[in-house]
Amino acid sequence: MSNNQPLLPDPQALNPAPAESLLDGALHYFPAFLPYNNADKLFQQLLHTLPWRQESLTIYGRRQVSPRLQCWLGEHGLSYRYSGKTFISQAWDPLLQQLAALISHQLQQPFNSVLANLYRNGQDSMGWHSDDEAELGPAPVIASLSLGAERDFTLRRRGESRQAGRLALAHGSLLVMNAGMQSHWQHALPKRANVQQPRINLTFRQILY
């Protein structure tokens, strides 16, 4: 692999054009947001350099080891509370900062932090939830960049147990969860026995206080 190419694309090279609008605009999906080359390099770099940790979380009163690795990075001193734990952001490096700026510019939305998830293979997952923590405000916009193995992202209406939709999130794609998404819908990343390869997901968020 040649190292003389930049990790991040020129903003002109981003491909935001064919956004698929889903759930009456609550979701926008850009299947090839990052050029393939950049997506590959970014994936390798983040896999090897982010401070990945396996958290133990309290879910429905039971302590469990989280079925994925995570880290939370952003501007200095932000704190974020979920699943009974407070996380203080680790300082993000210039790469993530530039990536956040690129996506912010593209979407015209501010992002001051990123929750990074590493699903080591198809056994790793994330259960049903909405990203509705108070720190995100009443109508957050969250931008979710996928790198590596393609995984299914599932959707259901809040208050219902039936799955209502599914989207396969491609390498280099960007899924934007718009205002209204978190208050009306839940999402999950289910286990997939046939997936052997890792996937990284970066969810860019704006913490309001």
Ligand X SMILES: O=C(O)CCC(=O)C(=O)O
Backbone phi and psi for residue 169, each to the nearest 5 degrees, phi listed first: -90, 115
5 vs 195, beta carbon nearer ligand X? 195
Measured between alpha carbons, how far is 113 from 17 in angstroms, rounded to an integer? 25
Measured between alpha carbons, how far is 126 from 119 in angstroms, rounded to an integer? 9
5 vs 183, beta carbon nearer ligand X? 183
131 is a site residue for ligand X (CB under 6 A): yes
182 is a site residue for ligand X (CB under 6 A): no
89 vs 186, beta carbon nearer Fe ion? 186
133 is a site residue for Fe ion (CB under 5 A): no
Q: What letter represents residue 115's amino acid? A: L
205 is a site residue for ligand X (CB under 6 A): no
33 is a site residue for ligand X (CB under 6 A): no
203 is a site residue for ligand X (CB under 6 A): yes
Site string for ligand X, 46-85 (x = CB under 6 A): ----------------------------------------
Q: Count CB neighbours of 135 within 10 A.
A: 16
201 is a site residue for ligand X (CB under 6 A): yes
Only segment of 21-29, 35-43, 45-53, 129-137 that touches Fe ion (CB under 5 A): 129-137
Closest approach of ligand X to the CB of residue 43, in Å = 14
Q: What is the 3-state secondary structure (H, E, C) of 120-143?
A: CCCCCCEEEECCCCHHHCCCCCEE
Nearest to 189 by CA among 157, 163, 151: 151
Closest approach of ligand X to the CB of residue 103, in Å = 15
Write the CA distances from 106 to 98, 101, 157, 164, integer angstroms: 12, 8, 28, 29
173 is a site residue for ligand X (CB under 6 A): no
Q: Residue 51: CB partners within 8 Å, gap ≥ 6?
A: 71, 90
131 is a site residue for Fe ion (CB under 5 A): yes
Measured between alpha carbons, how far is 27 from 50 in angstroms, rounded to an integer? 27
Site for Fe ion, rule CB under 5 A: 131
Site for ligand X, rule CB under 6 A: 115, 117, 126, 131, 144, 153, 169, 187, 189, 201, 203
